[in-house]
Amino acid sequence: MPSFLVLNGPNLNLLGTRQPDVYGTTTLSDIEADCVTYGTEKGISISCLQSNHEGELVDAIHAAKGTFSGIILNAGAYTHTSIALRDAISSVELPVIELHLSNIHAREEFRHISYIAAVAIGQICGFGAAGYRLAIDALLGHLK
């Protein structure tokens, strides 16, 4: 059975109350529960982790090697700043999908830059919480 790590970065613990006009009103707990349920329907084991700390996210990526079949990563603001996350992804040789709730390409110019994109198999952005299901389907399709 495939297993995916759904990894969420800084400030995503505030979903539901943080800028609902940009990120919607769905909470991270709701998203994680939906991922687990949807994964079960698809025959995939899903584990979820959120951290506001870059090093903890790097550690989670490292620990994923040999444990998970792939990673769905919403790195939040670290997308635009973290070479450490990029290097961690390159190091583990797992397929990673970069995910964003909002369309980062339609927002501030600094959000157009992604250090993750070059080492990810693809990017999903702008579909809100539904993007997580899209990412699960895309990662599963990539593995087949």
Q: Over the stretch 21-55, which tens digit does the pLDDT of each residue have?
A: 877 889 999 999 999 999 999 999 999 999 999 99
38 a catalytic residue: no
pLDDT at 18 over 90: no
- Catalytic site residue from 23, 78, 115, 132: 23
Domain range for 77: 3-143
DSSP tag of 19: -
Q: Can you give the pLDDT at residue 28?
A: 97
Q: What pTM does this model have?
A: 0.95
Which residues neighbour 71 within 8 Å (Cβ) at sequence distance 6 or greater?
Answer: 4, 5, 6, 7, 61, 64, 89, 94, 95, 96, 97
**Phi, psi values for residue 119, rounded to 5°:** -115, 5
State how many domains the chain has: 1
Structure-token pair, residue 5: 């790590």
**H-assigned helices in the chain:** 20-23, 28-42, 54-64, 83-92, 130-143
100 a catalytic residue: yes
List, in sequence order, every residue forming a beta bridge with 74; answer none if it has no partner: 8
- Catalytic site residue from 38, 80, 100, 132: 100
DSSP tag of 22: H
Domain of 120, CATH number, reads 3.40.50.9100
Q: Can you give the pLDDT at residue 63?
A: 98
Q: Coil, helix or strand for 138?
A: helix
Q: Can you give the pLDDT at residue 19?
A: 84
